[in-house]
Structure 1
Amino acid sequence: MRRSEKWAIAFGVLAIVTMLVIGPNHHNNTYTTTENNYNQKNSQVEATAKDHLMAEDLAKTTSLFLSALSEQLDKWSEHYSNGDLSDDFSEEIREHPYISGMALLTSDQQLEQTIGTLESFKESQFSHTQNGIRYSEPYNRDGKSYLIMGKEMENNEIIIGEVDLSFIEAYLSETAAIADSSGTFFVSGSDPNVQFKTTAELPDGAKTETVPGLDWNIYVQSKAEERDQITYKNQAVAKLAPQANSTTWAKQNHYRIVSENNPYIVVEKDNTGTDHLLEELRRNEDVLFAEPNYAFANQVQTIESKVEPNDEFFKPYQWNLEQIQIEEGWNLANGQDTVIAIIDSGVDPNHIDLQEKLTEGYNAVDDNDDFTDQNGHGTHVAGIAAAVTNNIEGIAGVSWQSKIMPVKALNENGEGSSYSVARGIYWAVDHGADVINMSLGDYNHSDLLYDAITYAHEQGVILVSASGNDNTEQAMYPAAYPEVITVAAVDENKNRAFFSNYGDHIDVSAPGEHIPSTYTDNQYVVLSGTSMASPHVAGLAALLKSTNPELTNDAIGDIILGTADQLGDGDYNAYYGYGEINVRNSLQQIID
């Protein structure tokens, strides 16, 4: 089945879908669905599986968080020769705000060259050692949790760093908790169901995930997800006829304009619910169509040599890039002169692995240029697609040289509307995006959104979207639209991620479990979800576009699907589409 044929099938699927990020609970946003007969037993089973996946992500994120300091301690110990490291310590604290203090611990237990808040420490406080790095148990000071890490040198002095664990505390979901190696919980979410003092208090059958090297146990217990239709209450989106003046029209009909992006307008009316408002609008001769303002949520789940970047987390953590044959592909393309628009919760403009890649951006929620990410999801997605690569820091992005266009269509809770997403698409197209990634979705078809998708496709933009994380055959929007490359998620073993949506609308697959990437406040975290799979494909599309700018969006889609590694039964199946993307094969087809 070729892509054009499959799109025709996908276009006929008018099912109801939603997405969420599989990660900390502050990313698991409201669903949008009209299917109310959701099986509660299945919901609880899926919730348990997602809790386990969430705990794994949290454990990997904690390990990632601490590994940066581990490598730094190794570096300082190699270069130290009884000299003064205080300037180096000061620089380290400036660059990494989660490092609150550094010092030398002498053989007679004295702290020297102390920088920051570190006040006192004895060697006896180290509780265990992993890969040459020594760790203390977490401790509390002034209501905050800290940890001491140390690296012993040949002269028996120890370089130590005090790590502020506030980031881990903030990153934890409301329904997660961490216990130290003694079984004492030192971080707990706000939900009473995870308020424990020791692991002995855990309910029978409770499963925990261990943080590598620390013997910390992470426990997650979320509630079964409810799937209720979500729209913006008492609001509607209308498309006005060309002759209508929106201000005059609204005044005559007693509507209040919430937002406007000609010819689309979001309106509300006092004492008028959404249903009555829609009936009224659809009778109005100046209205071409009217629909609810649907709520959207983000989606956290032949070459002879390899190009291996020097990014800190590339080799130990980014299994996902090796799996899609990207090191061989980087010999052929780097994404130069292409722009990937990330329509999401925004992007952290100050992240060291992103800031030099950012173009002008847009806030489609508030209609201004402040695209700052207050959620983290958009920053994570952007890093996967095109983080700064080969800069020693952090991670490698799929497309080295592509620019990132940050378009904020979701708020700090990872929630937005069909109107804000459509508005973001129009803006991205009109400002030069070559590829648009949409790791978000809703289970309702929207004429407004489809108009924007059609406009982008007609302008030659490559559209990529996550399939959704509800393990359902129902099709999500914009993923279900025929103009969009729809991406499912696979794990390290090339098996379908258990949460990944499936069906005839799936085009292709990409890694989506335990994916490390950039995060707000200059951090790096591990998340799972089809949200993470989608930007792999967006990055590949940019690599292809940079290799041959004359390729159309449909041609690039055909190459991606036609060169994928077949998975499952047959050339095409509903779980993997045409298979997992293969960067090397895709680029090789153009070169040949």
Structure 2
Amino acid sequence: MAKTVIIVAIVGLGLGIIGRALIDDNNYSIQTKNIPQNLEVSAMDHLMAEDLSLTTSMFLKQLSAQMQRWADADLDEEEMRARFKEEISEHPHFNGFAIFKKGEVVEQVGDLKRLDLSKLTHYHMKSKFSDPYLIDGEQFMLMGEEMKDGRTVVGEVDLSFVKSFVKDMASVADANGTFFVSGSDPEVDWETTEDLPEDLRSETVPELGWQIVVHSDNQKPEKLQQTYHEHEAVIKFKHAEVAETWFNDQPDLVIVENNNPLFVVKSSTESTEELIQRLKRDYDLAIVEPNFIISKQVTIFSTVPNEPKEKPRQAKPHHQPTNQTVLTTLPNDEFFEPYQWNLNQIEIDEGWNLSGGEGVKIAVLDTGVDRDHLDIKDKLGPGYNAIDDSDNYTDAHGHGTHVAGVAAALTNNLTGIAGISFNSTILPVKVLNDEGEGSSFEVAKGIYWAVEQGAGVINMSLGDYYPSDLLYDAISYAYEQDVVLVGASGNDNVEDPMYPSNYEEVFTVAAVDDTRNRAFFSNYGKHVDVAAPGEHIPSLFPDNNYVVMSGTSMAAPHVAGLAALIRSLRPDLTNEEVYDVMRTTAKDLGTKGHDPYYGFGEIDVAAALKSISN
């Protein structure tokens, strides 16, 4: 299955499952077990096309709304110049601006490539648009707005953002049916929509009549070619103080990563199976397992050497009650009313009357978070990169920024989206690299760090189909420290449980659509606790952008946000009591009572908070 930044599948919650690694404790052999693939590629392609269309609509409407605000503000040229400079600084998709008066340019800011009012031939959303045009290999588009005094403000839009989120998964045709954005696949050489194969469905961007066609790889590999890093093992000592002496007696082992009592080691002489077999017999080791590799669909297990670090101290994430800042009216965020159907469906408005999430830290274990995004930067606490053991949690992928925004984006600030627990703090924990790949070792480190920082809630929109003793050890530790642990069920429409979501200590979330029906990709099983919206969810994306994504990765932070609202309103409740509140107040869906598809039902923010507000 090919990659795309718009669908969450490549980031720990695979669209297609190609196998799982198993350890046979009797003979210590490493095997691969096939898992059935129940997803229709055409259905996933269509879902992605819908996400891409909605994202493009949001992108265009945001630009159009900004142009209209300037046109209605009746600003003089000096004031407009200042606004233009600020906009270019904050939003790189605007290449530049100009003001026309009687057909002549009277003010210009930025490096505009083309200024021709005659190109503004399409009229949508109260703004005029040109067709896309190509200059020096880059795509641009003009948009214009008539001002009250007869002047015209024109902005040149850099369409590289459209190309960046489309990637190689899709092609985009303009209103004339001519493709102006496409991937690098040599087999996709269409010039117009008339060249499309009959079996491909397009999705229309209604604002401009653009058509988006998703063309993913239809081939499904049967099993993994490699499931682990050869010659490597992940180990944990029963007692950290013996590590130095132990390694002195193991001259053949090289320390790949040191996070005492956790280590990744490599042998120059033994195969992985031989290494695992030998180390499992060692009395000093509490955990021994391969350093697994999973390609594309789920997390790739890889490690980077880091400096020794002390074992996290005991932390108690309870918070003292705070004076709640609540919302008594609907928020004014620009995308809330037209796009955030998901928040209305979980009864968020009444819930916001009771809690805003103050005093609670939500750790987002993911690809990082964009620290400069205007809709979340003021909500970020300290962050951690578990891959290189630094504080650089930059998100070049976008998945983590999107997840964090769903849980706790700035709210009622006129721009972007509304976050569920809008007054909570986000702790960005980068456990997945810029391709959306990581390891159980890094996720475990991220969990320990989050607990040390006092996280009350940990969101894990990631996972894989085999258990890890190392990961479970970290999960158990966090649970014992009273942390609410939220995990996504997975996106493969299978009953096979993912980890960490299958662990009893983790609160597992499935996905539903805007009709409260199970999302067709959502994994199911008796371990599912609740459901939450997971199709066509708008949220943040790096560089002050916004995109629509689908997946149980998007459903999970809805629940993490609710958990933070509960912990803020009632900090005396334990993590298990928070779980009980969310289960017992959920709207029952499907078969009466708990069922494998919806758990106890879809979360109800208002009902949950009202039940504990007395």
Equivalences for residues 113-132 of structure 1 within 5 A: 113-132=107-126
Q: CA deviation at 1:310?
A: 1.3
Once the two structures are aligned, what percentage of the paired residues are identical?
A: 50
- For the pair 1:23 / 2:7, whether they are aligned, the reply is yes
CA contact (8 A) 1:179 1:187 kept: yes
Number of residues paired by the alignment?
A: 567
**Post-superposition CA distance 1:127-171 (Å, at most 9, x none):** 311121111110011111001111123444321110001111122
Partner residue of 2:279? 281
Equivalences for residues 318-397 of structure 1 within 5 A: 318-397=340-419
Q: Which one of 494, 499, 503 corresponds to residue 521 of structure 2?
A: 499
Comparing 135-144 with 185-194, greater Cα deviation is found at: 185-194
Comparing 149-158 with 466-475, greater Cα deviation is found at: 149-158
- Counterpart CA distance in 1 for 2:155 and 2:211 is 22
**Post-superposition CA distance 1:373-416 (Å, at most 9, x none):** 12111111000000111111211100011000111111111111
- For the pair 1:245 / 2:242, whether they are aligned, the reply is yes
- Counterpart CA distance in 1 for 2:55 and 2:188 is 20
Q: Give the secondary structure class of the aligned counterpart of 1:60.
A: helix
CA RMSD across the alignment: 2.3
Q: Give the secondary structure class of the aligned counterpart of 1:283.
A: coil
Partner residue of 2:558? 536
- Counterpart CA distance in 2 for 1:22 and 1:274 is 36
CA contact (8 A) 1:335 1:546 kept: yes
Partner residue of 1:167? 161
- Counterpart CA distance in 1 for 2:176 and 2:158 is 20
Comparing 435-444 with 220-229, greater Cα deviation is found at: 220-229
- Counterpart CA distance in 1 for 2:135 and 2:11 is 29
TM-score of the two chains, using structure 1 as the length reference: 0.91
Q: Assess, with a 3 A threshold, how the Cα gap between structure 1 residues 570 and 132 changes in structure 2: closer, same or farther.
A: same
**Post-superposition CA distance 1:442-462 (Å, at most 9, x none):** 111111111111111110000
- Counterpart CA distance in 1 for 2:122 and 2:381 is 46
Comparing 309-318 with 153-162, greater Cα deviation is found at: 153-162
Partner residue of 1:8? none
Partner residue of 1:89? 84
Q: CA deviation at 1:573?
A: 1.1
Partner residue of 1:236? 233
Partner residue of 1:177? 171
Given residue 284 of structure 1, which amino acid in structure 2 is its aligned partner? D
**Gap regions ≥5 residues in structure 1:** 1-18
Q: CA deviation at 1:439?
A: 0.2
Given residue 283 of structure 1, which amino acid in structure 2 is its aligned partner? R
Partner residue of 2:60? 66
CA contact (8 A) 2:113 2:135 kept: no
CA contact (8 A) 1:29 1:414 kept: no
Q: CA deviation at 1:20?
A: 10
Q: CA deviation at 1:544?
A: 0.3
Partner residue of 2:319? none
Given residue 272 of structure 2, which amino acid in structure 1 is its aligned partner? T
- Counterpart CA distance in 2 for 1:119 and 1:369 is 39
**Post-superposition CA distance 1:406-452 (Å, at most 9, x none):** 11111111111111001110111111000000000011111111111
- Counterpart CA distance in 2 for 1:20 and 1:281 is 39
**Post-superposition CA distance 1:326-355 (Å, at most 9, x none):** 011000000000000001111111111111
CA contact (8 A) 1:22 1:50 kept: no
- Counterpart CA distance in 2 for 1:434 and 1:125 is 54
Q: Which one of 430, 445, 470 corresponds to residue 452 of structure 2?
A: 430
Q: Give the secondary structure class of the aligned counterpart of 1:585.
A: helix
Q: Give the secondary structure class of the aligned counterpart of 2:187.
A: helix
- Counterpart CA distance in 1 for 2:6 and 2:490 is 10
Q: CA deviation at 1:49?
A: 0.9
Given residue 390 of structure 2, which amino acid in structure 1 is its aligned partner? N
Q: Assess, with a 3 A threshold, how the Cα gap between structure 1 residues 147 and 274 changes in structure 2: closer, same or farther.
A: same
After the TM superposition, list the runs of 4 or more consecutive aligned residues in structure 1 that deviate by more than 4 angstroms. Answer: 19-22, 24-32, 34-40, 81-84, 295-300
- Counterpart CA distance in 1 for 2:437 and 2:274 is 25
Q: CA deviation at 1:241?
A: 2.9
Partner residue of 1:263? 261
Partner residue of 2:20? 33
Q: Give the secondary structure class of the aligned counterpart of 1:518.
A: strand
Partner residue of 1:10? none
- For the pair 1:98 / 2:93, whether they are aligned, the reply is yes
Comparing 509-518 with 194-203, greater Cα deviation is found at: 194-203
CA contact (8 A) 1:21 1:28 kept: no
CA contact (8 A) 1:563 1:582 kept: yes
- Counterpart CA distance in 2 for 1:522 and 1:243 is 44
- Counterpart CA distance in 1 for 2:53 and 2:122 is 18
Equivalences for residues 356-505 of structure 1 within 5 A: 356-505=378-527
Partner residue of 2:105? 111
Partner residue of 1:574? 596
Given residue 139 of structure 2, which amino acid in structure 1 is its aligned partner? S
- For the pair 1:139 / 2:123, whether they are aligned, the reply is no
Q: Which one of 503, 512, 533 corresponds to residue 534 of structure 2?
A: 512
RCO comparison, higher one (Cα < 8 Å, 6+) = 1
TM-score of the two chains, using structure 2 as the length reference: 0.88
- Counterpart CA distance in 2 for 1:404 and 1:466 is 18
- For the pair 1:558 / 2:552, whether they are aligned, the reply is no
CA contact (8 A) 1:57 1:527 kept: yes
Given residue 607 of structure 2, which amino acid in structure 1 is its aligned partner? N
**Post-superposition CA distance 1:526-570 (Å, at most 9, x none):** 110000000000000000000011100000100001001111111
Given residue 185 of structure 1, which amino acid in structure 2 is its aligned partner? F
Partner residue of 1:214? 208
Q: Which one of 32, 48, 56 corresponds to residue 50 of structure 2?
A: 56
Q: Give the secondary structure class of the aligned counterpart of 1:531.
A: helix
Q: Assess, with a 3 A threshold, how the Cα gap between structure 1 residues 374 and 237 changes in structure 2: closer, same or farther.
A: same
Q: CA deviation at 1:174?
A: 1.6
Q: CA deviation at 1:110?
A: 2.2
Q: Assess, with a 3 A threshold, how the Cα gap between structure 1 residues 82 and 447 changes in structure 2: closer, same or farther.
A: closer
- Counterpart CA distance in 2 for 1:272 and 1:321 is 54
- Counterpart CA distance in 2 for 1:314 and 1:170 is 24
Comparing 235-244 with 357-366, greater Cα deviation is found at: 235-244
**Gap regions ≥5 residues in structure 2:** 22-31, 300-326
Q: Assess, with a 3 A threshold, how the Cα gap between structure 1 residues 481 and 39 changes in structure 2: closer, same or farther.
A: closer
